[in-house]
């Protein structure tokens, strides 16, 4: 409460001085919400850590370059309790009440959709991060952008090509009943058919599944060249663990979401070697000098590797925002134009948006190889070649 009163008092004081005379030391206040409590709470840390690493790095450099003036960065963040409605409310508060200068994304696709309308209404530009759905493409372009290139329609085209290059003739698919997994399934099945790859087993399962013995046993009988586990997080651990236990070892194993998260390789260690997963960032990519630097700084600060999807995307969103602000300052309209048209140099290489989505970064796939995820597809981006069993 006192903090709020101070904020109001500060705002009033600022108004009295007049905005023209903003001091160099005035912090740039950046707002966001994350699920600190509730069902998605385990997902929040990898994003929060990326945001905080960026903030600390910027402040260590003397502050955020706002069109020539360096100002320290300060975060204003709230807990959305894993509820998208709450996220919408928080972004309204951040804009209308806290009057933050900039915004960063919440966690997850539903939350980004909930926030998109708020941004549109206030004409407040924000670079999103941890969302992925083909439906993002349908969002009205203008005030939100997504650096991800792991969109299901593209993955549906690329994954079958990767499989074909490995001489895969038959696949089994298991899909979690979750929007993102189902979207991927739809496009991947189309892609497999177009490439003449046989689907020998295809089953969906609910996210609260606790035992996959029956599911994996039936796949084992089908004996496919490749298994595509279109899973989210908890179930991807269950799938990986039980397929190891049951001795289900197809030549190629792809797990959609999960392997790239920090805890996953923490649990499986070397046993995760050879797993393929979605993702389009790796510290091994020499083409992107910032990639390794980010990885090292993250490991130094947090004593654990970043999440190859969430942490990387979140940091990327910060970098894009930083570079846009350096050029355009904090004016929303100018920022919007710069973000929509410029090319940004990020840990994930150059990024340029077309509408709301990333137009430069190709869709890639990663493989866990001795402690690091290497980019193995497409060939033009590969940092290592695919290993198969």
Please identify, using beta-carbon distances, which residue of 50 and 328 lies nearer to other proteins: 50
* Binding footprint of other proteins, residue count (CB under 8 A): 80
- Contact between 11 and other proteins (CB under 8 A)? no
Please identify, using beta-carbon distances, which residue of 161 and 232 lies nearer to other proteins: 232
Four-point Cα dihedral 223, 226, 230, 232, nearest 10? 100
Alpha-carbon gap, residue 151 to 309, rounded angstroms: 12
Q: Which of 179, 274, 355, 362 touches other proteins by CB under 8 A?
A: 179
Angle, in degrees to the nearest 10, between helices 109-122 and 84-92: 30
CA 3-6-117 angle, 5° bins: 70
- Contact between 144 and other proteins (CB under 8 A)? no
Alpha-carbon gap, residue 375 to 276, rounded angstroms: 10
Residue 211, SS3 per DSSP: coil
Q: Which of 26, 45, 101, 230 touches other proteins by CB under 8 A?
A: 45
Stretch that binds other proteins, among 35-43, 59-67, 325-333, 375-383 (CB under 8 A): 35-43
In contact, 50 and 314? CB cutoff 8 Å = yes
- Contact between 29 and other proteins (CB under 8 A)? no
Q: Report, in Å, the least distance between residue 105 CB and other proteins.
A: 15
Q: Which helix (H) or strand (E) holds 8?
A: helix 2-17
Q: Report, in Å, the least distance between residue 376 CB and other proteins.
A: 26
Q: Report, in Å, the least distance between residue 380 CB and other proteins.
A: 30
- Show contacts with other proteins in window 240-279 (CB under 8 A): 241, 245-247, 262-263, 266-267, 269
Residue 76, SS3 per DSSP: strand
- Contact between 83 and other proteins (CB under 8 A)? yes
Per-residue x/- mask for other proteins, residues 183 to 222, rule CB under 8 A? x--x----------------xxxxxxxxxxxxx-xx--x-
Q: Which of 100, 102, 104, 116 touches other proteins by CB under 8 A?
A: 116
Please identify, using beta-carbon distances, which residue of 69 and 268 lies nearer to other proteins: 268
Q: Which of 10, 39, 194, 293 touches other proteins by CB under 8 A?
A: 39
Stretch that binds other proteins, among 137-145, 284-292, 328-336, 362-370 (CB under 8 A): 137-145
- Show contacts with other proteins in window 224-243 (CB under 8 A): 233-234, 237-238, 241
Among positive and negative, which fits the CA dihedral 30, 33, 36, 42? negative
Q: Which of 97, 165, 343, 385 touches other proteins by CB under 8 A?
A: 97
- Half-sphere exposure of 116 toward its Cβ, with a 13 Å CA cutoff? 21
CA distances to 219, 221, 228, 274 from 192, rounded to whole Å, are 18, 21, 11, 21
Alpha-carbon gap, residue 144 to 152, rounded angstroms: 19
Alpha-carbon gap, residue 130 to 260, rounded angstroms: 13
Residue 228, SS3 per DSSP: strand
- Contact between 375 and other proteins (CB under 8 A)? no
- Contact between 41 and other proteins (CB under 8 A)? yes
Per-residue x/- mask for other proteins, residues 306 to 345, rule CB under 8 A? ----------------------------------------
- Show contacts with other proteins in window 53-82 (CB under 8 A): 76, 78-79, 81
Tell me which DSSP letter residue 232 carries.
-
52: burial class by Cβ within 10 Å (0-12, 13-18, 19+)?
middle
């Amino acid at each position: 409460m006192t903090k709020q009163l101070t904020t109001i008092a500060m705002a009033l004081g600022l108004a009295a001085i007049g905005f023209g005379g903003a001091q160099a030391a005035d912090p740039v206040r950046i707002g966001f919400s994350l699920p600190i409590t509730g069902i998605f709470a385990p997902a929040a840390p990898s994003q929060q850590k990326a945001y905080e690493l960026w903030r600390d790095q910027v402040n260590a450099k003397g502050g955020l370059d706002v069109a020539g003036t360096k100002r320290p960065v300060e975060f204003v963040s709230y807990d959305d309790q894993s509820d998208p409605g709450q996220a919408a409310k928080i972004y309204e508060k951040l804009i209308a009440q806290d009057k933050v200068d900039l915004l960063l994304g919440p966690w997850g696709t539903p939350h980004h959709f909930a926030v998109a309308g708020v941004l549109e209404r206030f004409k407040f530009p924000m670079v999103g991060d941890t969302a992925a759905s083909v439906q993002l493409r349908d969002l009205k372009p203008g005030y939100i952008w997504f650096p991800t290139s792991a969109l299901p329609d593209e993955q549906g085209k690329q994954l079958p090509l990767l499989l074909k290059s490995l001489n895969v003739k038959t696949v089994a698919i298991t899909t979690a009943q979750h929007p993102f997994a189902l979207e991927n399934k739809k496009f991947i099945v189309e892609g497999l058919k177009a490439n003449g790859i046989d689907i020998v087993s295809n089953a969906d399962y609910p996210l609260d599944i606790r035992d996959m013995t029956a599911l994996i046993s039936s796949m084992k009988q089908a004996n496919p060249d490749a298994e595509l586990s279109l899973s989210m997080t908890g179930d991807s651990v269950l799938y990986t663990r039980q397929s190891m236990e049951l001795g289900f070892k197809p030549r190629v194993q792809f797990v959609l979401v999960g392997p790239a998260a920090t805890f996953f390789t923490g649990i499986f260690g070397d046993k995760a070697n050879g797993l393929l997963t979605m993702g389009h960032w790796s510290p091994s990519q020499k083409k992107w000098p910032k990639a390794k630097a980010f990885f090292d700084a993250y490991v130094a600060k947090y004593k654990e590797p970043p999440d190859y999807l969430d942490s990387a995307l979140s940091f990327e969103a910060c970098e894009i925002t930083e570079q846009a602000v350096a050029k355009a300052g904090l004016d929303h309209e100018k920022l919007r134009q710069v973000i929509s048209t410029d090319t940004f140099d990020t840990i994930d290489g150059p990024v340029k948006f077309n509408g709301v989505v990333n137009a430069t970064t190709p869709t890639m796939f990663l493989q866990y190889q001795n402690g690091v995820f290497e980019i193995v597809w497409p060939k033009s981006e590969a940092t290592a070649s695919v290993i198969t069993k």
